[in-house]
Amino acid sequence: MKVIEQAIKNRTLIVVLAGVLIVSGLYSYITIPKESAPSIDIPLFIITTIYPGIGPSDIESLVTQPLERELQGIEGVSEIRSTSFEGFSSIVVEFDLDVENIEASQRVREQVDLARSELPSDAEEPVITEFNIDDFPIMTVNLGADYSMAQLTQIAERLEDELETISGVREVDVIGGLEREVQVNVALAALKGHNISFQQIIGAIQGQNVTIPGGNVDVDRLSYLLRVSGEFEHPDEIEDLVVFAPPAGGGGGDNDQPAPLGMIYMRDLAEVIYGFKDRESYARLTAYKVEDDNGDLIPVPYEEVAENQVVSLDIKQRSGSNILEISEDVNRVLEEFGFPSGTQIVMTNDASEDIQNLISDLENSIISGMLFVVLVLVFFLGIRNALLVGTAVPLAIFVGFLVMTIMGLTLNFVILFSLIIALGLLVDNSVVIVENIYRFRERGMERFDAAREGANEVGYALLASTATLVAAFLPLLFWPDIIGEFMSYLPMTLIIVLLCSLFIALIIYPSLTGFFVKLPTEKKRRKSLLTKISIWTGVVLVAAVVGLTNYITLIVGILIVLFFVVTYKLFVKPLSDIFTGQLLPAFIEGYKSFLTWMLQRNYKVRWAYWRNMFSLSAFTAGFLLLVLSGALSLFLGAAALPVAILGGIALVIGSLGVILHTFESVILGGIRSVIGGLVVAVVFALTLFGFSLMSAELTWRIFLIVMGIPGLVVVLGFLGMFRTRKSPIILTDNRSRLLNSTVGALFAILVVFSLVPTGVNFFPETDPNRIDINIEGPLGMNIDASNEMVREIQSRLNSLIDESDDTRGSIENVQVNVGIAATGGFGAGIPSPERARISLNMVDFADRYESSSVTMTKIREAIGEVPDALIQVEGQEIGPPTGSPVNIEISGDDFRQVERITSEVRQRLQDAEFTGSIPGLVDVRDNVSGGLPEYNLRIDHEKARKFGLTLSDIAQTVRIAVNGLDASTFRDGEDEYDIVVRLREEDRDDLDKLRDLTINQAGMQVPLVSVADFEEAAGPGSISRLNLQRTAVVEADAAAGFSGPQVLSQVQDYLADYRQDLPAGYTMEYTGESEDQEESFSFLTTALVISFALIFLVLLAKFNSLIIPFIISIAVGLSLIGVFLGLIVTRTEFNVMVFVGIISLAGIVCINNIVLVEYIKQMLDSGKSKMDAIVEAGAIRLRPVLLTALTTILGLVPLTFGIDIDYIGLLTQFDPAFQLGTESTQFWGPMGITIISGLMFATFLTLVIVPVMYSVFDSLSKSVAEAYRSRD
C-alpha cells in the first residue's frame, strides 16, 4: 500500500505526528464537556393554559379541544397527549425525531396563535415550553439550620443568586422555603359595614404605590428632574392609606391633622401583615452518613440521627457545559459563601459524582485491560513488543477524543462505556501489524524492510476486516425513536475509535515497529554516555517532581516498578521463553497434525459423496429455500408456499441426518469423547456455580438440563469405547464429521436454551443509586393532611431502617418532599398538595451492605397498605427512558365509562398483586384522579341581570376574596414582593360568611346570596386524552428478579377474558415498555440482517468470490453456539444489550477469518497444494488469531465481571479499593458475556471449522466446474 510506504519513508515525521496526536487527544479528553446522559434534542412541546376556577370538564371543552383541533393538523406530529385539570390545561405535542426543533417550534406557535380566538377571553395566554433534557437538575444543595426557616430561606435566596453567576449554570430553583408577601387580609364585616368593594381597596393601593416623573425644572445652570414618589418604604404604610374619602375631604392620614368625618383608612378594613405565602411544599432530610474532612462517608451515631427541615436548591446546567467544572465551581461558591453558624449543607443527586465514577471506571478498565493485554502479548512477542502494542489502546482513544471534540460531542456514560467495550477491539489491528512485522524480522529482514513488507502483506486484509466491523455497527446509527437517539452514541463511538485504530495501525505503527521492535536474539545497541546521562537525569527529575507532589505516589511507584521488574525477571520471562521456545511450537505442530487429520477423507467407498454430504446438503438447501420463500412471499404472496414446503421438508431431513451423524461422530470418538465431555462438564459446573453465587438463580432442573449435554457426550463416548467395528459406520470424511457435529452442537444448544430459557427483558436490570417512594393521596387533600400521611409512611420506613443494619448501612440520606409532583418528567415540580416523594439516596455500589433491589422489596413490605394513599416504589436506573413494564391504555368516547373500565382493571390487578396470583407484579396504579371536592356557584342569571351584574363580575369578586389578587409589589432593596388582597382566613374558609360577600355595582353593594348560592359537588379530577381520544392508563412495575415481559405476559393472560368483553367502541392496548421493546427488537433484527448483508458485500468486494463470504458468514452464524451457551451457563437474560453484542460479534468474528482466508489464497497463488496451503496458512495465522481473540476477550473481562482497581487511589493513597462486581457490569455485562462466549467458540471456528469449510466448498466448486465442463 502506497500510504504505508510513504509513512515509513517519512518515519521521523510520523513519530512527531504520534506525539502531537497524544498531546492533542489528552487535551481534548481534559476539556471535552462531560455530562451524565446523552444530550438528546427531542422535538417535544408542552402547551399550558391557565383558566382559574374552571373544572376539568369545562377546561377540556373550552381550552384543550380547541387547541388540539389546530395542533392535530401539523405535519410531523407523532403523538398528542393532553390532560385537563382543575384550572389549567396541559398538552404535550411530540414530533418525529427527524423534525428539527426550530421548525417544530414554529409550527406549534403558528397553530396555537390560530386557536387563541376560540379560547375564552378571560383565560390566560397559552404558554409554550420546549422540552429540554437540561431542565432536569444535575445536583441539589440542601440547607438545614438550627435558626428560623425565614432566615434560612433568605440565605437560600442569596445563595441562589451566587450560584446563578456560575457560567455553566442556567437556573437554580429554590424548593421548600418560605416565600415572602405583603398580605392585606380584609375583614368581611368591615367591608360590608363601610360599604367598600375589593376594587376600591385594590385601586387605593395601586394609586399610591407608584413613582411618576414630573418633568424637568431649570434652576440657575442646572436642570433638575422632578419625581413624584409614593412607593411604600415599609408595609405598615399601607395601613394609613385612605380607601374612601367624602367628596369634600382633603387628604387625611397625617398624624398632625384630624381625619375628616367619613374618612375610611385601610386599617379600618384590613390587617396588613408582612408575612409569607401559604405553604405549598415541605422539604426534610435525614442523614445517616456524612462526609468527614477527607471526603469519606462515615455513619452518623444512632442517637444523633435526626430529621431536619431543609431548603433545597436544584441546579440546572446550560446545554453543552461541563458538569465536572460546574461541580467544582459550586463547591467553591459554597466554601466562600458566608453561612451563619449552625447551617448544615448536604449535596444530593450529584450527577458529577456519577460522571466521575464512570470516568474512573473507564480509566481503571483501560489500565486493567492493558495489563491483561500486555501480559498475553509478553508470552507471544516479548516485553518490548508487548508494551508497544499495548500503547495502541490509549493512542486510539486519545485520537478518538480529538475527533469527538471536533464533531462537538460531549462525554457521557454511553460514550464512556462504548470505549470500555472497544478496549479489546482497538488492539487487534496493531497486534496483526506488529506480529506480522515481527515474523518478517524472524526471517532475517532489516527493521524497516520488515515493517514495509509486513504491513503491506496484511494492510488490505486489515482494511477489509475494519470495514466489516464498521459495517456491523453502521445500521445501529439508524435506531429510531428516543431509545435510538440515546443508544446511537454506542455505534458512533465505536466507529470513530475503530477508524482511529486502523489509521494508527497502518500509518503510525509500521514506523514505530521499525524503531522499537527487536528480536530476543538481537544484540542491544550500546547507548552513548550522553544518552545514559540524559535518561537518568530525566528519571531523577520526574521522581523529584512526583515526590514533592505526593511522596506516597513516589514510594508506591518505586514499589510497583520493582515488583514488575522482579516478577518479569523471575517468573514472566522464564515462562515466556518456555512458552515461545517450546510450548507454542509444539502447539503449532499439534494443530497442524490435527488440521491435517480433519482434512482427511475417504471417497473410495460406495456412495461416498451421499454418505458424507447428503445431510449437510439437505440442511443447507432447506435453509436457503426457506430464505428464498420468505423473499418471494413479499412479491408473490401465497404463491411462494410450495417453495417453503419444499424447504421445510429438506430442512427436516437434513436436521435428522445431522443429528444421526453427530451421534455417530461422538461414538467414534471413544475415549476422546469421554475426556472432552468430562472437561466440558467441569467447566459448565464451575461456571454455573460461580454465577449462582454472584446473582443468577440456579435450580436443579436447570443444572441437570445444562449438564445433560456433556453427560450425553460422555455416555456415547463410553459406548464407543466398546464398539467392535473399527471402520466408520456412515461418514468416511473427517470434514463431514466435524461439520455435522458442529451443526449438531447448535441444535443441542438451541434445545437446551428452549428448555431452560434465561428469560427476555428490554434493558438489563440494574441496582439503582436512588430509591423513590412516590405517594399520592386523594385529590383535594390539602398540604397539611398530605404531610401527616407522609409522616405515617416515614414512621414505617424509619422502623425498617432502625431494625435492619444492612438497610441502614446502605443509605446515605433520606429526602422528603411534600407538595410537589411525585413522578419525574413533564409536570415535575408543579405544586400538587396531595403528592409527595420520599427519596433514599444510596451509598456507592461497592459500599452497600445489601442490593438496592433487596432494599426496595423490604420497603414495599414495610410500608404495606396506607389508607387513601397510592404508593409506588421505583429505582433510578441506568439506560434510556422507557415506559412502565405494564402499561395499559384504555380509550373510548365516554370518559365515565373509561373511568369505570380503568377502575375495574386496576382493582383486578391489585387483587392479583396482593394475592400473589401474578408473581412479580407490584405498584399497580392508574392516572385517573378521583372526583375533586368542589362547591359550584349556582348563579340565578335573571336576578343577576336585574342588579346589572355579569358572570365575570361575580366570578372576579369571589376569586379575589378566596384566592386573592396581586394588587401591586413592595420593594425591599433589590427584592420585590407581591401585595396580595383577599379576605382574612376565618372569613374565606367559612362558607356562610362567603355568602355575605357583596359585589359592587355602580356604587351599590349587592350581596352574593341575592344572586347565587353554593352547591356541593364532585367533578372529575382530570381528563386525559391521547390523540384526541379520551384515554386512561393503568400501570404496574416488575419486582426485583422478575423481567418486565415475564410479568406482562401473565397480566395479558389474566385480563384476556375481560378484554374480550369490553363494550363496543372501547379499547385496551398494551403499550409502554412492551411497545418500546417490540419496536427495538424489530429494528435490531433488521439491523442484524443488514449488518450481515453489508459484511457480505465487503467480503465480496475483497475476495471477488461468493464462496469465501458464504464461508465466513456461516462461521459468524455458528458463533451463536458460544453466545447461547454463555447465556445459559451464566443465566443472562436475552435483552437489547445481548442483541447489540451479537451484532458486534458479527463484525469481530470476521477479522481473523478474513486474514486467514487471505493467507490461504496467497499460499495457493504461490503454487502450494490445497491441503498444504490450508494447513500452513492456519499454522502461520495461529499466533495472531489467538492473540487477537485473547486480547479482545481479556480487554472485556474488567467490564464484564466488574474487576475494578482504583489505580489513582493506589498511587496517591496506597489504597487500590479492589472491587469485584460494579454497577456498570449490571448494564453492560450481558453484552460482554455475549461477545466473550461467542468469540471463544469463534476462535475454534476460525482455526478449525473455517479451514475445513474452505476445503469442502473448494471441492464442491471444483466438482461443479468439472461437471459443467464435461457437459460441454
Cα 914 from chain centre: 31
Looking at the structure, do residues 404 and 419 belong to the same domain, yes or no?
A: yes
DSSP string, 1237-1251: HHHHHHHHIIIIIHH
CA-to-CA separations, 725 to 325, 367, 492, 667, in angstroms, rounded = 77, 57, 59, 11
Write out the H or E segment, with its range, that includes residue 814. strand 811-820
Most confident segment among 53-62, 413-422, 695-704? 53-62
Q: List pLDDT tens digits, range 928-961.
A: 876 666 777 788 888 888 888 887 788 888 888 8
Give every CB contact of residue 987 below 8 A, 6+ residues apart in sequence: 186, 187, 188, 961, 993, 994
Looking at the structure, do residues 1097 and 1227 belong to the same domain, yes or no?
A: yes
Looking at the DSSP assignment, which residues form a beta bridge with residue 965? 981
Looking at the structure, do residues 490 and 636 belong to the same domain, yes or no?
A: no
The 3-state secondary structure of 892-954 reads CCCHHHHHHHHHHHHHHHHHHHHHCCCCCEEEEEECCCCCEEEEEEEECHHHHHHCCCCHHHH
**Does residue 1102 form part of some domain?**
yes
Sign of the alpha-carbon torsion through 735, 739, 740, 742: positive
Looking at the structure, do residues 571 and 682 belong to the same domain, yes or no?
A: no
Mean pLDDT across 982-989: 87
Mean pLDDT across 1009-1035: 81
Mean pLDDT across 675-686: 86
Closest CA to 1112 of 1170, 1162, 1154: 1154
**Does residue 1217 form part of some domain?**
yes
b/e per residue, 1108-1130, with b = 16+ CB within 10 A?
Answer: bbbbbbbbbebbbbbbbbbbbbb
Most confident segment among 269-278, 683-692, 995-1004? 269-278
**Does residue 359 form part of some domain?**
yes
**Does residue 774 form part of some domain?**
no
Looking at the DSSP assignment, which residues form a beta bridge with residue 1029? 1026
What is the C-alpha separation between 795 and 801, in angstroms, rounded? 10
Give pLDDT, residue 252.
44
**Does residue 76 form part of some domain?**
yes
1221 burial (CB, 10 Å; 0-12 / 13-18 / 19+) is middle
DSSP string, 715-752: HHHHHHTT-S--S-SS--BHHHHHHHHHHHHHHHHHHH
Domain containing 919: what range? Answer: 884-931+1020-1071
Give pLDDT, residue 1209.
79
Give pLDDT, residue 813.
92
The CATH number linked to 910 is: 3.30.70.1440
Looking at the structure, do residues 451 and 422 belong to the same domain, yes or no?
A: yes
Question: What percent of the chain lies above the pLDDT cut of 70?
Answer: 93
Residue that wins the pLDDT comparison between 711 and 730: 711
CA-to-CA separations, 131 to 33, 95, 136, 1076, in angstroms, rounded = 21, 12, 10, 20
| Average pLDDT of the residues of the chain | 83
Provide the strand spans (E) within 20-76: 44-50
What is the C-alpha separation between 804 and 798, in angstroms, rounded? 10
Q: List pLDDT tens digits, range 1217-1238.
A: 777 777 777 777 888 899 999 9
* End-of-domain residue from the set 732, 752, 780: 732
Give pLDDT, residue 829.
40
Looking at the structure, do residues 537 and 593 belong to the same domain, yes or no?
A: yes
Mean pLDDT across 652-656: 86
b/e per residue, 43-69, with b = 16+ CB within 10 A?
Answer: bbbbbbbbbebbbbebbbebbbbbbbe
Q: How many CB atoms lie within 10 A of CB 1272?
A: 4
**Cβ atoms of residues 1029 and 891 within 8 Å:** yes
Looking at the structure, do residues 1249 and 1102 belong to the same domain, yes or no?
A: yes
Closest CA to 300 of 814, 651, 764, 661: 814
Residue 6 grid coordinates: 510513504
- Using the predicted structure, report yes or no on whether residue 248 has a pLDDT greater than 90: no
Residue that wins the pLDDT comparison between 1213 and 335: 335
Looking at the structure, do residues 444 and 564 belong to the same domain, yes or no?
A: yes
**Does residue 455 form part of some domain?**
yes
15 burial (CB, 10 Å; 0-12 / 13-18 / 19+) is middle
**Cβ atoms of residues 681 and 710 within 8 Å:** yes
CA-to-CA separations, 152 to 157, 176, 223, in angstroms, rounded = 9, 10, 46
Q: List pLDDT tens digits, range 223-242.
A: 777 777 778 888 888 888 88
Give pLDDT, residue 604.
66
Give pLDDT, residue 178.
84
Mean pLDDT across 1038-1061: 89
Residue that wins the pLDDT comparison between 688 and 851: 851
The DSSP code for 1034 is E
Looking at the structure, do residues 1142 and 1211 belong to the same domain, yes or no?
A: yes
**Does residue 1066 form part of some domain?**
yes
**Does residue 680 form part of some domain?**
yes
Most confident segment among 669-673, 836-840, 946-950? 836-840
Q: List pLDDT tens digits, range 1122-1148.
A: 999 888 888 888 888 888 888 888 888
What is the C-alpha separation between 127 and 124, in angstroms, rounded? 9
Q: Which residue has the cell 416565600?
A: 179
Give pLDDT, residue 609.
64
The CATH number linked to 69 is: 3.30.70.1430
What is the C-alpha separation between 1264 and 1272, in angstroms, rounded? 12
- Using the predicted structure, report yes or no on whether residue 1054 has a pLDDT greater than 90: yes
Q: How many CB atoms lie within 10 A of CB 431?
A: 27
The 3-state secondary structure of 1058-1069 reads HHHCCCCCCEEE
* End-of-domain residue from the set 111, 130, 149: 130
Q: List pLDDT tens digits, range 95-135.
A: 888 888 888 899 999 999 999 889 988 888 999 988 777 67
Looking at the structure, do residues 26 and 66 belong to the same domain, yes or no?
A: no
* End-of-domain residue from the set 84, 106, 130: 130
Looking at the structure, do residues 704 and 568 belong to the same domain, yes or no?
A: no
Helices (H), 1132-1169: 1136-1165
Mean pLDDT across 826-841: 72
Please count the structural domains in the chain.
4
Looking at the structure, do residues 1082 and 1222 belong to the same domain, yes or no?
A: yes
Give pLDDT, residue 193.
82
798 burial (CB, 10 Å; 0-12 / 13-18 / 19+) is middle
Tell me the Cα Rg of the chain: 38
The CATH number linked to 443 is: 1.20.1640.10
Closest CA to 181 of 87, 280, 264: 280
Give every CB contact of residue 169 below 8 A, 6+ residues apart in sequence: 163, 315, 316, 317, 318, 326, 329, 330
Write out the H or E segment, with its range, that includes residue 145. strand 139-145
